Amino acid sequence: MKRIKKKATFENLEEVLQFVKVGAKAFGFDKAAIADLILAVEEVLVNIISYAYTDQCKSGYMEVRYKNNNSSYSITFLDTGKKFDPTAVSEPDTSIPINQRRMGGMGIHIVRNIVDNLQYKREGGKNIFTIEKKK
């Protein structure tokens, strides 16, 4: 397992994405799968950066860990921000007309479509969210 822990800011986003990219490449994903995975990771991190710490005066961190077994690559996101369960976000209706359409939940919807498994738990004041993508 490898990990990176950074202050949850947009300035650090690229570095964390690069970290995940290196792992995904080593795992053996092809270019298209890596591009999809990075999009999913960015959606999760942008959520953390944008919303996790908005209720607090001090900023917090985002931690990303990845590990692989033979057939799947899993990425875990940790933050100490307010409780947020991405797996509980309802699916947006992507068939409704444009003028009624809302953006909420679109990021997690994209994540759901890219990865094979999502898992969330709240433990010790942390949001622990894991996504898993199979080869």
Partner 1 sequence: MEINRTEHNGIVEINISGRLDAATSSDAESVITNVIEENNTKVLINLENLTYISSAGLRVLLVAAKEMKAKNGKIILCSLIDNVKSVFEISGFSIIFEICDTKEEALQKF
Instruction: State the residues that interact with partner 1 by CB under 8 A.
Output: 10, 13, 32, 35-36, 39, 42-43, 46, 49-50, 92, 94-95, 97-99, 101, 103, 106-107, 109-110, 113-114
Question: Are the C-beta atoms of 44 and 129 separated by less than 8 Å?
Answer: yes
CB of 33 to partner 1, least distance (A): 11
> DSSP alpha helices (H): ranges in 1-135?
13-27, 31-47, 106-114
CB of 104 to partner 1, least distance (A): 10
Q: Which of 54, 99 has the CB closer to partner 1?
A: 99
CB of 125 to partner 1, least distance (A): 26
Q: Which residues contact 124 (CB under 8 A, 6 or more apart)?
A: none
DSSP classification of residue 114:
H
